[in-house]
Structure 1
């Protein structure tokens, strides 16, 4: 950390109806090793959220942690709106975001500051890697951990190496403040404000990099809360796609053909694969000799090719998951990879809920409950996990 003047870093932590998580969050943030005189953690509360406010009031806060209350503004109570309001009160030149249940590695801020210092000026955002600290809680937690490992350690780096636009995660994001403000910060009406901001960064020619620092989260390991969380993500993807596709020619000019197609594959196809899953599953009726209307239109060789494509796609997904959890810290998840298709069956329910809400209440923020597995959490080590690179950023430049 020698050779340049350390900047002030402000990290926003939005909280809403958090009774179980607040005290644990403050304890975890105290493990950060960045100089506290240059660190500003802002807990962002809704003015009407008396539950979280009372919880925070019972916990002594160090001087580098402050609380900002976001005034009520009608029915719109979204995370991006709260972030936009709190941004004006931050003093840092680097702005970060963590979620309520996060446990960042103690030296995470040092890694962020060092990379921003050495990166080109057009590197606007650094995205850390997400993992779960409760992956042994139950079957859903194990499958969620497999999904995250596959996304963050296999799929996302691969997509980035192809030069496609990568949607940001909702946490462990760090921005150059001047660029963030130049883009107008977050879209207050989008329930996946992170994905939208990542796409806007790419359209303006800025670069996002993945860096090898991990933040541990709590896996959503109960069926209905999982569906609620996933439906919000899918709805947000649809909103993001629809907003940016209002002028498809402009989007094509900003991104180029390859990344334009990538946006369709990432945002639209992610939703459609879940929404159309029941229809695709029904095709298996014909395999067992039952009638399906599609057989009146498709010849037997074409049906055989479709089933072969289904099987091959599923095998590729399973292979990617096996690779993702083959490191020493996640090998306990290997036996559960074979059950992964059953886990994703819930995605069809989430997609139906997302489509319904897109019509009835597109800006409704379905809150994810936290704090159900706190007793199982252990303090992370300062070292970067062995399955991540130890030097330099991952080759995940986006937007260049």
Structure 2
């Protein structure tokens, strides 16, 4: 058997695939260390491209097997496969047919005698017939046939273990009753006390709007005190040795990302971490033919292991990440999006920080920013927003020791604590913010780190609206979930955490919903004060402006208009100032004047907020896809 193995290794890998003897020796060392098959290591650790391997198989005149995924059935010993699914995935062997007299399998490496023997022992039967297929096809067959138990956990684990924390139910019966009572009281109050009700509602909305904006302004001031802080010094980082570093899992959820998959491979190669200690999982939806084919036909080696997520609703990023957890083996885990360019030292920095922190710290959030910030007006405004959010506001929350809503990527977890928390809520479309709050509610802590991952800023208005409406809808979901029992939330997070949650999570979407309504009322009243209405030719009565103004002033007296004007002026000035501050840490001084456009940028948020509100009612779990790879920027690395 060993002679046959060496023959195949030489003919398939060395002669046909072009692997050098030194590469084969390295692969064999990793094969023993990682417990993966030779081919699995060769394809997933940067030694051999999938396209080259396919050519080698065809050159050897071995016919490639084609799966009919719709007709695949578990074998008689299906439970053995389910219980040992990682072993079958690492061996790249799919048991096709099993009966008393025969065992027929599909595998990717006919030279892999070690793993063939291993699978025979697991199934208690010798293999009588083999077929050869591409590794991605074998992986897909294994996942969709035997991964359904993991899939069920990925979708429903939060719901099964803690139903009150799951967003599967958008509005609880009590919340609907409370909303109904509030609306009913408002209508009755307006019917019996129209003037007093109108003034009271205006005052409440203006007060809450000011508080929400003021809280973010204060957070920025708090965060600015940490502007030059370094949690890990260069001296501390230099003392980290490769030998002490643990396995580190990187989840890469992708969906229709064929246009950026090549950049992803390049960016991963720039990560400064021992290759044999990286556990990189590329999460591909089983019906995402575009990305699936792009990975199969890659003509250069990559350093990720594909995980094919079986089809299930909802089709969301958190569901895919939850599925990937069950095949991860790192002590720490992070998520990157397909277009991300992480700081090359980020994993080592996070590891060093976790060593310094107590066990109650379970998540480290790194900063996000953009590599195409100067591409157009939208990317400039987006960069200003991300800069004050990650460089000032989140550090401000950190310094106050209150709940921190996580960003979508570059959040690094202690893996065991992440599993204890149940992973992400597959029904929440802003799952990262929700997880940060759930962690805090269980007395765990989240902190931030001054290491940056560069992303692609949306350069298209419609694409931006899609992305932002999903984010704001997720904030609404998160607010509704955690406010199902306000008193219980207060007891879990304390007074400081409770108010931080109200003004940061609730205040964010409240601001965007209320801002245009109050602005329109204010502009209309000011319009009446100018007398321009009288000059319009279609009015017969030239005193209509005065008459209308007298009527409206009953509901909106002058002192209330003054308060509204003050609120809008001060509120916008505070946010303009916050945006201007955002340029200093990154030294992006050319963006400073664009902060003046922030009031109009907020109106874009309001459009997104109302779209998100409508979707919250009509399709709450719908994951609005953000298209990547639209930028013309060619930057591919960050220091």
What is the TM-score normalised by the length of structure 2?
0.58
- Measured against aligned partners, the alpha-carbon deviations of 1:180-215 in whole angstroms (never above 9, x if no partner) come to 011111101100000000000000000111001000
- Measured against aligned partners, the alpha-carbon deviations of 1:249-284 in whole angstroms (never above 9, x if no partner) come to 111100111211111111222111111222111112
Match of 2:163 in 1: none
- Measured against aligned partners, the alpha-carbon deviations of 1:57-92 in whole angstroms (never above 9, x if no partner) come to 22257574111000001x311000000101110110
**SS of equivalent to 2:252:** strand
Is 2:312 the partner of 1:54? no
- Measured against aligned partners, the alpha-carbon deviations of 1:88-135 in whole angstroms (never above 9, x if no partner) come to 101101011111110001111110111111211111000000000001
Match of 1:44 in 2: 283
1:376, distance to aligned residue in structure 2 (A): 3.1
Match of 1:273 in 2: 511
Choose from 548, 557, 566 the match for 1:299.
557
Match of 1:321 in 2: 579
What is the TM-score normalised by the length of structure 1?
0.91
Distance 1:331 1:103 in 2: 22
**SS of equivalent to 1:67:** strand
Aligned length, in residue pairs:
380
Match of 2:623 in 1: 365
Distance 1:175 1:374 in 2: 33
1:336, distance to aligned residue in structure 2 (A): 1.3
Choose from 112, 115, 124 the match for 2:362.
124
Deviates more, 1:252-261 or 1:160-169: 160-169
Is 2:351 the partner of 1:113? yes
Distance 1:363 1:191 in 2: 7
Structure 1 residues 153, 328: closer, same or farther in 2, change over 3 A?
Answer: closer
Deviates more, 1:152-161 or 1:182-191: 152-161
Distance 1:309 1:227 in 2: 26
1:312, distance to aligned residue in structure 2 (A): 0.9
1:323, distance to aligned residue in structure 2 (A): 1.1
Distance 2:631 2:568 in 1: 36
Say which structure is richer in helix. Answer: 2
Structure 1 residues 114, 281: closer, same or farther in 2, change over 3 A?
Answer: same
Asked which structure has the greater RCO (Cα within 8 Å, sep 6+), the reply is 1
Match of 2:209 in 1: none
Match of 2:86 in 1: none
* Structure 1 segments unaligned to the other structure (5+ residues): 382-400
Superposition RMSD in Å: 1.7
Conserved 8 A contact 2:466-2:608:
yes
Structure 1 residues 19, 374: closer, same or farther in 2, change over 3 A?
Answer: farther
Conserved 8 A contact 2:575-2:598:
no
Which protein is bigger by CA-based radius of gyration? Answer: 2
Conserved 8 A contact 1:37-1:64:
no
Distance 1:203 1:331 in 2: 39
**SS of equivalent to 1:325:** helix
Distance 1:184 1:155 in 2: 27
Match of 1:330 in 2: 588
Distance 1:249 1:263 in 2: 13
1:145, distance to aligned residue in structure 2 (A): 0.5
